[in-house]
């Protein structure tokens, strides 16, 4: 059985074309028109989904045939199709960049791609780029494009007239401050740090409506798919999860898996709280601890509480910024040095350029935990890694440290890719790593 739902992949010829804000504004435009809008993000990304959730009013999940698996992609889309009037998927990078690329996901799902092309400083060449995107892969459907950042109505007319047969211009978006959200070194600024995001999204929706982008895309059949039901591997396990503006890189799918496996979740703020909830395990996710070094340093009660939890040998998962918070010291971009949790010897620092980027996996006998790395951190520690992640494409890896009950790495993991591994981590059970012979964590 299948259900036909208007659906499209919002993509671009490259990063920086404006597809994130166009996706968010489209979601808000159709939501304001009374439609149920479901949005997904291709690939690993924490920040864009935060904005897309505000825009659509619904949860946003990742779709990535390698990281989440093809079956999960099909199931999440099928679940959304049950109630959605419109499904939008925001692509990653350029349309054909990466493996699997946004084009690969669009083909897998049977959904057309809708490129957003920055038309600034461009006229007839716009048509050539549209033609290239539409004809590069005959199996991919591209029948419309969006022009972004046009200079005038006449500019939009020129772009429309220059398109080849078979490709139409859905709309031409003028330059407008409502179409811009500030960003920083890892992506968009978090919605909780913006005072007027809802108002801005409404304004952006009106910009798109005036540009003629209020029509629904074609309906496509979304086939039904069965979910994988996880075992109750964490029944009765209480897990504390750090969550505030310094620790916010959390996939919804990760927390939902923990609950489905029977865990009881408790959230706390390392910035503002003075004690941990009464729990059996702790998760320190990534985020922006590098922007809040002084606050973390000065919250002595919380530092002592987490340190006591660690020294008691209880399970802790520390991912990227979570690992940085576990270090003795952190050197920020201004050169200031902050004392942090202190149970990982040495110092972390933030570099001017990316130090880790790409899809990675952690291979264990309990399963292959997939995810990614995206950071600017450097580590100087006397600890020796117990294992390393493996990069999906190219060279490079991330160190995995383990001591007492701690598992710490600059690697971000997608929990549903290996539920048995995640259950073992939060229950403090031994893992056997396949790429580092004879190594296990105690």
**Which active-site residues does the annotation give?**
320
Q: In 3D, which of 218, 192, 195, 214 has the Cα closest to residue 204? A: 214
Please state whether the peptide bond connecting residue 100 to the residue before it is cis, i.e. omega within 30 degrees of 0. Answer: yes
Go through the chain and tell me how many residues it has.
442
Sheet of strand 327-331, all strands in order from the earlier edge strand to the far edge: 337-339, 327-331, 344-350, 377-380
Q: Give the pairing type, strands 113-118 and 86-90.
A: unpaired
Give the C-alpha separation, 422 to 259, whole Å: 12
Classify each residue of 207-235 as buried b or exposed e, where b means 16 or more C-beta atoms within 10 Å of its C-beta.
bbeebebbeebeebebeebeeeebeebbe
Contacts of 119 by beta carbon, 8 Å cutoff, 6+ apart: 126, 147, 148, 149, 150, 155, 159, 172
- Beta bridge partner(s), residue 347: 329, 380
Cα separation of 93 and 15, whole Å?
A: 5
Contact yes or no for 419/231 (Cβ under 8 A): yes
Secondary structure letter of residue 67 according to DSSP = I
């Amino acid at each position: 059985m299948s259900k036909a739902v208007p659906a499209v992949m919002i993509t671009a010829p490259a990063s920086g074309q404006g597809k994130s804000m166009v996706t968010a504004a489209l979601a808000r435009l159709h939501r304001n028109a009374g439609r149920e809008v479901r949005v997904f993000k291709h690939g690993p990304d924490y920040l864009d989904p935060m904005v897309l959730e505000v825009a659509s009013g619904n949860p946003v999940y990742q779709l990535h045939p390698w990281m989440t698996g093809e079956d999960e992609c099909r199931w999440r889309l099928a679940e959304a199709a049950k109630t959605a009037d419109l499904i939008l998927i925001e692509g990653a990078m350029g349309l054909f960049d990466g493996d699997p690329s946004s084009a690969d996901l669009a083909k897998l799902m049977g959904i057309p791609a809708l490129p957003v092309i920055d038309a600034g400083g461009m006229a007839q060449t716009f048509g050539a780029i549209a033609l290239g995107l539409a004809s590069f892969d005959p199996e991919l459907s591209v029948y419309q494009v969006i022009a972004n950042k046009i200079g005038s109505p006449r500019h939009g007319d020129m772009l429309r007239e220059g398109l080849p047969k078979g490709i139409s211009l859905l709309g031409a978006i003028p330059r407008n401050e409502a179409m811009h959200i500030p960003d920083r070194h890892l992506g968009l600024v978090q919605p909780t740090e913006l005072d007027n995001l809802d108002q801005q999204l409404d304004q952006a929706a009106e910009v798109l409506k005036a540009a003629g982008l209020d029509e629904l895309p074609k309906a496509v059949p979304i086939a039904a798919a069965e979910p994988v039901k996880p075992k109750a591997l964490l029944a009765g396990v209480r897990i504390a999860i750090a969550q505030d503006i310094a620790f916010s890189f959390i996939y919804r799918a990760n927390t939902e898996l923990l609950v489905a496996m029977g865990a009881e979740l408790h959230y706390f703020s390392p910035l503002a709280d003075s004690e941990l909830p009464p729990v059996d395990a702790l998760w320190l996710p990534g985020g922006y601890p590098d922007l809040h070094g002084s606050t973390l340093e000065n919250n002595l009660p919380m530092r002592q509480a987490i340190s006591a939890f660690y020294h008691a040998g209880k399970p802790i998962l520390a991912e990227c910024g979570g690992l940085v918070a576990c270090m003795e010291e952190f050197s920020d971009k201004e050169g200031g040095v902050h004392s942090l949790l202190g149970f990982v010897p040495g110092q972390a620092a933030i570099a001017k350029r990316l130090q880790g980027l790409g899809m990675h996996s952690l291979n264990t006998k309990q399963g292959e935990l997939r995810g990614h790395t995206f950071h600017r951190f450097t580590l100087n520690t006397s600890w020796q890694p117990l294992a390393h992640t493996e990069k999906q494409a190219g060279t490079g890896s991330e160190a995995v440290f383990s001591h007492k009950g701690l598992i710490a790495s600059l690697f971000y993991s997608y929990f549903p890719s290996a539920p048995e591994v995640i259950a073992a981590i939060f229950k403090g059970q031994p893992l056997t790593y396949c790429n580092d012979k004879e190594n296990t964590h105690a």
